Structure 1
Amino acid sequence: MSIDTQIAEIQLVLPPEAEERRLRSLDQLQILDSPPEDRFERVTRMARLVFGVPMASVALLDRDRLWFKMVEGLPLSEVPRAETVCQTTVARTYTEPADPALIVDDLARVPEFARLPGVGGDGGVRFYAGYPLYGPGHQPVGTFCVYDTSPRNFDDSQQATFRELAAWAQRELERADDLERAAAVQRQLLPAPMRGVDGYSVRSMCAPAYAVGGDFYDHYLTGDGVVFTVADVMGKGLGAAILTASVRSALRGASKALDHACPGTSLGEAVSLVANHVADDLTSTESFVTLFHARLERSTGKVEYIDAGHGLALVSRKNGDVEALPGCGLPLGVLIDDEWTSEAVTLDPGDMLIIVSDGLLDLLSEDSDAGTVGDFARGHSDPQILCSAVASLAAKCAPLDDVTVVAVRRDDSG
């Protein structure tokens, strides 16, 4: 690449919205300031061996610093962002997305790089090769780099090897063996597609932003109805997934037990019982859970529901109107011994209840809200069509947040 191109990239300032998306993705990794790990050390050690260089790193670019998850040959744990070449590597994902690698034969020959601390001089860095690393939503969050104290160049074969090692670092950033297993278990815990609900069509989908997610949905049959749940545990990744499994199990168990022992028990009692059951876990992890929990009476179309801080449920009427359902209280984990009172809405023939998580907002537009979801729903009046459309959006633009949808439509003849 030309020196002029390098200088232009150094001077690039990301639009605030792009930088915030990038930092949000970095935050979702929940890896900043964590201890070194052997899986990253294996990548940097192999890079030093293959290329015969004294230094290699896996680093994450925070708002004001470059933090090293793993670094060999450099006595550093972090450096100011403004004093790094890696910020230029991250910038290349926006200017050169097809070829974001930044390979500079001699940093000392580029004035904007030469004046950075640690570049040139006795024992300073001269050669640099960096490749962006990506977080949820395919946002550039860091770099995989190799450095040398002498100028050099990479031939085509070495460049190909460098990209392969960067891909290895990317895989390690995305998942470890236990994370892959957790992702498989989480998928298996989702309920089977609901079929045969007389008079209704039901479809659900969940697309985690990363290997595992903090969203979940659930549904199961009762005597004359169906219970639906969509919940979002604060946070992403394995920690949120652990809490998700706990909340899901507690809510299903409490709801079924109360329905069996005391038919007609209010949803508020079930949610309060679960909130008390998981209160210590949410307090100790400084987390909370937004929740939409509903019970449908099939014969009448009446939906009794609790919206605990979720705020993303609506009814799309047959005539094209869309009604946002009001919330009923705070999320679980905000206040000790909180209580929830249920609300109700009725599905007439042709109406559809739609419950989504906030990950869908990011997919629809940067400034979307519940009204945007309503506009989207108007163009997808069937649960299967709606879920397929959301899945297509997630496939085209990797989500920054977990995306969950549950849609229940009362048949026109219902």
Structure 2
Amino acid sequence: MTLVDAHIDADLEEARLHSVQQLNVLDSPPEDRFAQITRMAKAVFGVPMSTVSLLDRDRQWFKAVDGIELQNLPREQTVCQVTVARAYDHPEDPALIIPDVSKVPAFAEIPQVAADGGIRFYAGYPLYGPGGHPVGTFCLYDTQARELTTEQQAAFRELAAWAQREIANTDDLERAALVQRQLLPPPLGTVPGWSIAAMCLPAFAVGGDFYDHYPWTDGLVFTVADVMGKGLGAAILTATVRSAIRAASRALDAAARNATDTDLGQVVGTVADQLADDFAGTETFATAFHARLHTDDGRLEYVDAGHGLSVVRRSTGGVESLNGGGLPIGILRDETWDTARVDLGPGDMLVITSDGLLDLLPAGDDAALRALFDDTATPSDVCSMVTELVASRPPIDDVTVLAIRRDETA
């Protein structure tokens, strides 16, 4: 790569942009934890300007700016696009230090360089996001040409490492992601007459989707839910919703075991009452599909609380959508939900997804969802197909899928 080569392979660029989005930092308000870094950089190096920024698809956005008035710059008018590209070609030494950028023809016409009293010295170090992709830069600027001594270069890298810790919060995100993965239920194992597969792929390090399943007296109970929002905030509330649904379902089942079966609408209503203040305080809500399957005869009872993303693929051909049955949890207090029913015959398969999957489909509607599962005969086929779809087009929202199929010989 030459000094000014900013080319990034198309596939790498899409993965890099996805990493930028995963940080959930773009267009966020200024924060003093970043401003401390740029203030320190000016004091340590005696430079008039320092920044922390992210490189989006067509712009450079500044999280912290000290000494220069910048907010968004066209990407093609930045030196930092070269620093980001350099991270791929020179990972062992990704820093880009240019004593006088006005002497580099490709940079000389950049407005911030060409202006009277414009930038001459540039030092940039890439910052990395989830997946190890370079997402932005920590930079020093001066209006005078200059060099950095060996000791100054070491100090520059140390300040870049500080910016890296702040912009990625790597340790906290990794711990949160690990806990969230551990909260997903383990595989059910063998369920005679049935095959089951599920997956949850957060668009960010942590997400607002979840699925749950566990055995009950006459079969299986399972849930797919989606808390509005992304990142750590949604993940915290997701854990609360998951626990509340499971606790309410099991408690009401135990109380009704010697009488009639529990009304699933009552389960959802109990959860809504319990979390009403939490949803109101956080100004959010959750959609949910909560169901109970009688594995002996294929009878499925369910409540759809604003989810609306469940289909049945019939063994005889065709895919039909299940009707929604109410508002999401947390929209209105004292809302009630009705229990619906569908029968799964031999060879029939139920698929429940989250709305992140719709974002990956060209049409992004109910008809596109039905068409997607028309050629997937088994739950493992469903998960394989969704995995390939996510790999080809990184999602902007969490993607969760749960599929249950009754065996042909049942």
Q: TM-score, normalised by structure 2?
A: 0.77
SS in 1 for 2:373: helix
Change (3 A) 1:46 1:399: farther
Q: Which residue of 2 aligns with 1:261?
A: 255
Q: State whether residues 232 and 291 of structure 1, in contact with CA within 8 Å, keep that contact through their aligned partners in structure 2.
A: yes
Percent of aligned pairs with the same amino acid:
50
Q: State whether residues 28 and 235 of structure 1, in contact with CA within 8 Å, keep that contact through their aligned partners in structure 2.
A: no
d(CA) in 2 for partners of 1:88 and 1:233? 40
Q: Which residue of 2 aligns with 1:239?
A: 233
d(CA) in 2 for partners of 1:260 and 1:34? 51
Q: Which residue of 2 aligns with 1:328?
A: 325
Which of 173, 179, 200 aligns to 1:185? It is: 179
Moved more, 302-311 or 391-400: 391-400
Within 5 Å, which residues of 2 pair with 1:82-101? 82=73
- Superposition deviation, residue 292 in structure 1: 1.1
Which of 111, 116, 135 aligns to 1:121? It is: 116
Change (3 A) 1:31 1:242: farther
SS in 2 for 1:253: helix
Change (3 A) 1:24 1:297: farther
d(CA) in 2 for partners of 1:389 and 1:44? 49
Change (3 A) 1:260 1:348: same
Change (3 A) 1:90 1:303: farther
State yes or no: 1:402 paired with 2:395: no
Change (3 A) 1:140 1:152: same
Q: Which residue of 2 aligns with 1:10?
A: none
Moved more, 165-174 or 189-198: 165-174
State yes or no: 1:350 paired with 2:317: no
- Superposition deviation, residue 69 in structure 1: 2.9
Q: Structure 1, residues 316-356: CA drift from partner, whole Å, max 9, x if none?
A: 11133111112111111212221111222111111111111
Which of 79, 85, 97 aligns to 2:70? It is: 79
SS in 2 for 1:378: coil
Q: Which residue of 2 aligns with 1:297?
A: 294
Q: Structure 1, residues 62-117: CA drift from partner, whole Å, max 9, x if none?
A: 8999654334xx246x7342588776856998x99976999877555779975746
Change (3 A) 1:29 1:382: farther
Moved more, 381-390 or 100-109: 100-109
- Superposition deviation, residue 248 in structure 1: 0.6
Q: Which residue of 1 aligns with 2:50?
A: 56
Q: Which residue of 2 aligns with 1:216?
A: 210
Change (3 A) 1:30 1:148: closer
- Superposition deviation, residue 309 in structure 1: 1.7
Change (3 A) 1:86 1:258: farther
Provide structure 1 residue ranges, at least 5 long, that are not aligned to the other structure: 7-17
Change (3 A) 1:200 1:45: farther
d(CA) in 2 for partners of 1:30 and 1:286? 22
Paired amino acid for 1:401: D
d(CA) in 2 for partners of 1:186 and 1:57? 34
d(CA) in 2 for partners of 1:22 and 1:135? 9
Q: Which residue of 1 aligns with 2:315?
A: 318
d(CA) in 1 for partners of 2:30 and 2:297? 53
Q: State whether residues 125 and 157 of structure 2, in contact with CA within 8 Å, keep that contact through their aligned partners in structure 1.
A: yes
Paired amino acid for 2:246: R
d(CA) in 1 for partners of 2:313 and 2:81? 42
Provide structure 2 residue ranges, at least 5 long, that are not aligned to the other structure: 7-13
Q: Which residue of 1 aligns with 2:408?
A: 412
d(CA) in 2 for partners of 1:52 and 1:335? 57
Q: State whether residues 26 and 62 of structure 1, in contact with CA within 8 Å, keep that contact through their aligned partners in structure 2.
A: no
Paired amino acid for 1:327: G
Q: Structure 1, residues 32-78: CA drift from partner, whole Å, max 9, x if none?
A: 1152326x9669968997x986543222478999654334xx246x7
- Superposition deviation, residue 236 in structure 1: 0.9
Within 5 Å, which residues of 2 pair with 1:202-213? 202-213=196-207
Paired amino acid for 1:223: T
Q: Which residue of 2 aligns with 1:339?
A: 336
d(CA) in 1 for partners of 2:273 and 2:156? 52
- Superposition deviation, residue 411 in structure 1: 0.7
Q: CA RMSD in A?
A: 4.4
SS in 2 for 1:359: coil
Change (3 A) 1:43 1:189: farther
